[in-house]
Structure 1
Amino acid sequence: MTIGFSSRVAIACSVVCAVGLPALAPGSAAARVGTDPGAARPTASRSPSLHSPGTQVLPRAGAPALPEVSALSWLVADARTGEVLAGHDAHRPLPPASTLKTLFALTVLPVLPGGVQHTVKGADLAGIGDGSSRVGVAEGHTYRVADLWRGVFLNSGNDAVHVLAAMNGGWQSTAVQMQARARALGALDTRVVSPDGYDAPGQVSSAYDLAVFGRAGLRNPDFARYCATVRAKFPAGGWSYDIQNTNRLLTGADGVAPYPGLIGVKNGYTTNAGNTLVAAAHRGGRTLVVTVMNPRAGGPHAVYEEARSLLDWGFAAADRVTPVGTLVPSRATPAASSPPATADASSPAPATAQAGPAAASPASDGSDDGGWWDTVAIVGAAVVGAGAVALALRRRPHAPGR
């Protein structure tokens, strides 16, 4: 016996399958066609309010008032969800100073394992800007990559950045890679000229982009561990010396009270940029990331005090404001782990230590979960289509035998 059915039934089944696929996928099929899987999801960020000048905040009943902040630009966001709680000129392009080292680390950390050793050549240290901060890297000495990263995160050492960039293929190549990494994260305000953050014509970032970098960095266990390290030993041939993190909100140095629950991330200063800071802190199951760029009042420590006041406000207001935007998702899957205690590298943590508010497996750094959704959508469409076929066959009378 042969079972047949009309072309109308076949068309109907095809239509059901076609409808089933976008219905089960997280976004429309049309939105996914021609999309680079490594590119940012444009609809997940760039709230129009964040591009508007001035302060952007949407308080609800009971929300505390924003503190007085003199910085040219600032932003407060939830590190887990990426929701922006408030911001001021968040996309304003400004010199980032050494906070740009967050993007440098995001770019180079994954390709240079901490245990690799390198003997520094004179060419590695060429071109370091006048007045640059240095950790004391010396030509002819051999360093582990992990030592150089501590020099970057703790001492903001431009000499360490130059050596790591040389190991990564060179200064200009690293700048190009950093620019590509910024684009992949959806940080469209950033222009990289000098990977160490040294003042250079045309080099800018924004409070929004730096918050994106800080949030992405905290999902990398190595980044999170380095940026939370308070002090360490730096090798100098046959001996070593102490170095301490220059982030005073972390260390409590120079009369700046340490902030409870602070994780890091990176501070900076240049003549053109003024004082800049990306800071993250954890309290009561919530992690916030704050960016402060170039305070205009309050002296050299104002960047820390203004970050402190914004963190305090953010923890108090998080459930009492409507988000004004969203940081571009890094496509990493956040874990619900707590951040690390502030570290002392005199007793180095193991390479596998979980760190940061969302320490994740290596696969979570920039990986895309789109393939999983595609599989679900295809299977779902097949199930829906098969159901439609079965229904059509049940309703159609059997054809006579031939």
Structure 2
Amino acid sequence: MDAAAGTVLFSKNGDKQFYPASITKLMTALLVAENCNLDDKVTFSATATTNLEAGAVSINMTAGDVMTVRQCLYALLLKSANEVGNALAEHVAGSNAKFAEMMNAKAAALGCTNTHFTNPHGLNDSNHYTTPHDMALIARAAFQNDVVKTVASTRTYTLPATIKNPSGLTVTIGHKMLNPNDARYYPGVIGGKTGYTSKAGNTLVTAVEKDGVRLIAVIMKSKSTHYTDTKALFDYGYELVKAGALSGSGSSTGSSNNAGTTGSSSGTGNAGPGTSSAKGWVQDSNGWYYVKDNGAKAANEWVTVDGVSYWIDSNTYMAKGWRQVNGKWYFLRSDGAMAKNQWEKVEENGQWFYLGADGAMLTNTTTPDGSRVDESGAWVR
């Protein structure tokens, strides 16, 4: 994702739900940074220090231990200490459950449509999930926050003495692309977060900034290629920069879907999916529909809101997934927005198709990244 414009540059299973594991902590850190003074004292409760599954990463905090919010953030993002996530949630909202409500509200405000959080740390829970696309939106916001960016880019930090660590504890960031001594180091990386659970597999969020362009990569449900995949994504993104497909400010020079916002109505209503009004987007039990300025519902037509296009089916409801319009194929993401300038995979047959600058699937040509697609639009391997 181009962080400046929210443009998706490449997507594979971008709207598929996965368990996030500890990349959840980016949302936790963002909410803490927005709601706390960094010098506030956080007192660890017995609930915070014991409400963990077996084998969960911790720094051995015990009931009665005290650290500042700042120190907790370093323990959270560098060491991925799960009891610290619990303690911060209690500090901000009083309980994990109340904090999860804040997490879900924030996710919705950022435009996430397939995310549900139940805890501040990402340990296994079948109701705790997100998508690569939604996680990119969260990471985009997190790395726009100076506190989160500073903490998540720090390589080592020394925590104060506690009951079980009387000499203090030095924590080191787990993200290998930030370590110049590691073969996986990637110049320009400004921060990131790792994650792993047995159900989530490896998850990885990374932000990089070079040539005035900031990119964000999200990898989920990886067995072992999360770092090599991230490098490949960044290399691809900066090839687009070199080719002039992205401007130096980090925004797309062509038309593209905006993954960061749902838009607002050009009429008198509010809206993009997420709100409702007499005009513009309205939601009922069947989905989203669009009321035009003349009061009529849009049907069998494109609706464009703040430069983002949505297809409205003949039943008057916003479409999702693949649609053929006037002989051309388009892909509508889970939030209804037309996908542009990216690859999409058809899960049923495993084939990849490229959507051009106008959103239409390319056929019998060469894509901007040099790949070939046949007459049906399928990638020629």
Q: What TM-score, normalized to structure 1?
A: 0.59
**2:157 equivalent in structure 1:** 232
**1:290 equivalent in structure 2:** 217
Code of the residue aligned with 1:108 in structure 2: it is V
Report the identity percentage.
Answer: 26
SS across alignment from 1:205: coil
**1:325 equivalent in structure 2:** 257
Contact 2:50–2:83 under 8 Å retained in 1: no
Contact 1:214–1:289 under 8 Å retained in 2: yes
Note the alpha carbon deviations across 1:97-131, whole angstroms, 9 max, x for none.
Answer: 11111112222321121101133232332311221
Code of the residue aligned with 1:268 in structure 2: it is G
Code of the residue aligned with 2:51 in structure 1: it is G
| Partner Cα separation in structure 2 for residue 118 and residue 107 of structure 1 | 15
**Is residue 2:136 matched to residue 1:211?**
yes
Unaligned runs of 5+ in 1: 1-76, 332-402
- Alignment counterpart, residue 170 of structure 2, candidates 242, 250, 258: 242
SS across alignment from 2:155: strand
- CA spacing shift, 1:330–1:250, aligned 2, 3 Å: farther
- State how 1:127-138 maps to structure 2 within 5 Å: 127-138=51-62
**1:257 equivalent in structure 2:** 184
Deviation (angstroms), 1:183: 0.7
**Is residue 2:48 matched to residue 1:124?**
yes
SS across alignment from 2:160: strand
- CA spacing shift, 1:97–1:128, aligned 2, 3 Å: same
Larger radius of gyration: 1
The RMSD of aligned alpha carbons is 2.0
- CA spacing shift, 1:311–1:119, aligned 2, 3 Å: same
Q: How many residues align?
A: 250
Which structure is richer in relative contact order (CA contacts within 8 A, separation 6 or more)?
1
**Is residue 2:121 matched to residue 1:196?**
yes
Deviation (angstroms), 1:224: 0.7
| Partner Cα separation in structure 2 for residue 101 and residue 326 of structure 1 | 25
| Partner Cα separation in structure 2 for residue 136 and residue 229 of structure 1 | 21
**2:267 equivalent in structure 1:** none
Contact 1:85–1:324 under 8 Å retained in 2: no
Code of the residue aligned with 2:230 in structure 1: it is A
Contact 2:43–2:87 under 8 Å retained in 1: no
- CA spacing shift, 1:259–1:137, aligned 2, 3 Å: same
- State how 1:350-365 maps to structure 2 within 5 Å: none
Contact 2:51–2:83 under 8 Å retained in 1: no
**1:269 equivalent in structure 2:** 196
Code of the residue aligned with 1:305 in structure 2: it is T
**Is residue 2:69 matched to residue 1:180?**
no
Note the alpha carbon deviations across 1:138-171, whole angstroms, 9 max, x for none.
Answer: 3222211111110111011101101111112111
- CA spacing shift, 1:316–1:249, aligned 2, 3 Å: same
Contact 2:184–2:227 under 8 Å retained in 1: no
**Is residue 2:7 matched to residue 1:80?**
no
Note the alpha carbon deviations across 1:289-314, whole angstroms, 9 max, x for none.
Answer: 11111224xx3xx2111101111111
Code of the residue aligned with 1:248 in structure 2: it is K
- State how 1:6-25 maps to structure 2 within 5 Å: none
| Partner Cα separation in structure 2 for residue 157 and residue 323 of structure 1 | 42
Q: What TM-score, normalized to structure 2?
A: 0.62
**1:315 equivalent in structure 2:** 238
**1:140 equivalent in structure 2:** 64
